[in-house]
């Protein structure tokens, strides 16, 4: 029986079901034996690009790169038709959001799934070329993706007249040279063009004018890898994967890092609670310590508290609690760890990784670091608590050129909200009267 069919009860984990870390990734014959590339074949032979877009829209596949934008809606803005000319599909495989380690696993262990997904989505938007923008440190992933790509090219899945159709598609792996900001999709496009990775103004959105001024779709690794399964099994199957835990559809690569017993990443129904992630899959906090706070999905999400653990990890539920699901891999802070020090670490990261293009971010982030270091050293000034609060506004949404600085303010503002006492404990002691 084929594992890759809707009828198979084990087919609840489309992204990871073929992953066997001990055995390593499947080569092309192995992948094809598991029905690999059958979704691409079905797409090219039986569906028009518009039909695939409609299926994915109906499936409600939301972007897994952090923002949750519906993929089908994003693609529907791409100009179609015989005169549309050069168009590009870019896979965002920059994975540099601190606390996030899901795309690495997917690419290292299932490279052919990403290659199939890229070609299929390329077909759906009638792209002429695709690039996988991979961060420079992912050496193993680069090697395995290039190997898989060469196999796919030799088999006629990539190149001129894909599977004998009218449509041709070239695909390349592009490796980066560092800088977190490359993950922001317009900075990524600049970087791919061989420029400094400063973001671009939006609009125009990349779907209209992106890479080399041409219509471009940028999607995250995990987002793309869902698509072949959706096309093969249908929108209703995909919606059912969440098992009623959420009105979002599909599974999600969740994970847990920090001082927990069994840190790792797991594919689970979207809407699984953070408590299940921490207590069941991660085996609870290490050394019997209590949980103090947690980041739901990366450095640029607001801290939540133990009382929020029973919330469904989906885009809308976590947003209602005042944070963001982000990438969905939680990072846990133990009771004996300092929030001031954690936030100082986070803001040092954001300050260093600012691209320097706009003043509030370039100058505001180092300012916050300076203040946080003072509080950590017990030299905080009372007025600076207000400055920190003001910075969260001055660097907030709409005040800067891209979402880097507003993202940086999320852990800071939530730490100030929930743990003000820890900051106050870092105030300089008044000098003793002589």
Partner 1 sequence: MTETIVKLADLVKPAAVAAPFVLSDEERHEIEHELSHYPDSRAASIEALKIVQKHRGWVSDEAIPVIAAAINISAADLEGVATFYNLIFRRPVGRHVIKVCDSISCHLTGYEELRDGLIEHLGVRLGGTTPDNRFTLLPICCLGACDRGATLMIDDDLHGPVEPAQIKALLEAYP
Ligand X SMILES: Cc1cc2nc3c(=O)[nH]c(=O)nc-3n(C[C@H](O)[C@H](O)[C@H](O)COP(=O)(O)O)c2cc1C
DSSP string, 125-180: TT-SEEEEEE-TT-HHHHHHHHHHHHHHHHTTSSBSSGGGSS--BEEEEEE----G
Between 30 and 356, name the residue whose CB sits nearer to ligand SF4. 356
Give residues 51-70 in contact with ligand X (rule: CB under 6 A): 63-67, 69
Tokens of 247: 């009105």
DSSP letter string over 400-432? SSSSHHHHHHHHHHHHHHH-HHHHHTTBPPPPP
How many amino acids of this chain bind ligand SF4 (CB under 6 A)? 14
Please compute, for residue 261, the number of CA atoms within 13 A of its CA located in the half-sphere on the CB side: 14
Q: Which stretch binds partner 1 (CB under 8 A): 112-120, 136-144, 312-320, 358-366?
A: 136-144
Nearby residues of 360 by Cβ (< 8 Å), 6 or more positions away? 394, 395, 399, 400, 405
Q: Applying CB under 6 A, which of residues 218, 304, 330, 369 lies at the interface with ligand X?
A: 218
- Which CB, 217 or 278, lies closer to ligand X? 217
What would the DSSP string read from start to end of 48-81? Answer: -HHHHHHHHHHHT-B-TTTT--BHHHHHHTS--S
| Segment lying near ligand SF4 (by CB under 6 A), choices 111-119, 240-248, 259-267, 354-362 | 354-362
* Per CB under 6 A, 189 contacts ligand SF4: no
- In angstroms, the CA 343 to CA 349 distance is 10
Q: What is d(CA 203, CA 364) in angstroms, rounded to the nearest whole number?
A: 25
Binding mask 173-212 toward ligand X (x if CB under 6 A, else -) reads: --------x-xxx---------------------------
Residue 279 found at the interface with partner 1 (CB under 8 A): no
Question: Applying CB under 8 A, which of residues 62, 112, 135, 144 lies at the interface with partner 1?
Answer: 135
CA 15 – CA 413 distance, rounded (Å): 35
- R_g of the chain, CA atoms, integer Å: 23
Contact residue for ligand SF4 among 205, 357, 394, 418 (CB under 6 A): 357
Question: What does the alpha-carbon distance between residue 207 and residue 205 come to, in Å, rounded to a whole number?
Answer: 5
Nearer to ligand X, 220 or 301 (CB): 220
Q: Contact with ligand SF4 (CB under 6 A): which of 330, 405, 409, 412?
A: 405
Tell me: does residue 219 bind ligand X (CB under 6 A).
yes
Chain contacts with partner 1 (rule: CB under 8 A): 86, 95-101, 103-104, 135-139, 172, 174-180, 191-197, 212, 255-259, 263-265, 295, 299, 329, 331-334, 337, 341-342, 345-346, 348-349, 352-353, 373, 377
Chain contacts with ligand X (rule: CB under 6 A): 63-67, 69, 92, 94-97, 181, 183-185, 218-220, 223, 402-404, 407
């Amino acid at each position: 029986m084929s594992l890759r069919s809707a009828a198979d009860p084990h087919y609840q984990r489309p992204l990871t079901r073929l992953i066997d870390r001990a055995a390593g990734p499947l080569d092309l014959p192995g992948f094809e034996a598991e029905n690999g590339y059958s979704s691409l074949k079905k797409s090219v032979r039986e569906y028009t690009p518009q039909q695939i877009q409609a299926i994915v829209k109906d499936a409600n596949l939301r972007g897994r790169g952090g923002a949750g934008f519906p993929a089908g809606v994003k693609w529907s803005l791409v100009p179609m038709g015989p005169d549309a000319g050069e168009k590009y599909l870019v896979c965002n495989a920059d994975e540099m959001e601190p606390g996030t380690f899901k795309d690495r696993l997917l690419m290292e262990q299932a490279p052919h799934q990403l290659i199939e997904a890229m070609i299929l989505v390329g077909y759906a938007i009638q792209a002429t070329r695709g690039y996988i923008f991979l961060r420079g440190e992912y050496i193993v992933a680069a090697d395995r993706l290039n190997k898989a790509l060469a196999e796919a090219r030799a088999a006629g899945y990539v190149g001129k007249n894909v599977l004998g159709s009218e449509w041709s598609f070239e695909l390349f792996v592009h490796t980066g040279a560092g800088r977190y900001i490359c993950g922001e999709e317009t900075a990524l496009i600049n970087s791919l063009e061989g420029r400094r990775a400063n973001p671009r103004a939006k609009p125009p959105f990349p779907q209209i004018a992106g890479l080399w001024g041409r219509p471009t779709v940028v999607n995250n690794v995990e987002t793309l890898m869902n698509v072949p399964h959706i096309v093969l099994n249908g929108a209703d199957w995909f919606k059912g994967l969440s098992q009623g835990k959420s009105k979002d559809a599909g599974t999600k690569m969740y994970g847990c890092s920090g001082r927990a017993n069994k840190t790792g990443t797991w594919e689970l129904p979207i809407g699984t609670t953070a408590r299940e992630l921490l207590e069941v899959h991660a085996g609870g906090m290490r050394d019997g310590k209590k949980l103090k706070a947690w980041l739901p999905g990366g450095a640029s999400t607001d801290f939540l508290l133990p009382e929020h653990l029973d919330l469904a990890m989906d885009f809308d539920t976590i947003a209602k609690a005042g944070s963001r699901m982000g990438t969905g891999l939680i990072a846990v802070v133990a009771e004996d760890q300092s929030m001031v020090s954690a936030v100082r670490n986070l803001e040092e990261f954001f300050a260093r990784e600012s691209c320097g293009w706009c003043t509030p971010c370039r100058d505001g982030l180092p300012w916050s670091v300076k203040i946080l270091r003072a509080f950590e050293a017990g030299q905080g000034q009372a007025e600076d608590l207000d400055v920190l609060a003001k910075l969260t506004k001055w660097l907030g949404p709409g005040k800067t050129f891209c979402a880097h600085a507003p993202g940086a303010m999320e852990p800071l503002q939530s730490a100030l909200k929930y743990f003000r006492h820890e900051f106050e404990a870092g105030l300089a002691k008044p000098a003793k009267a002589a």
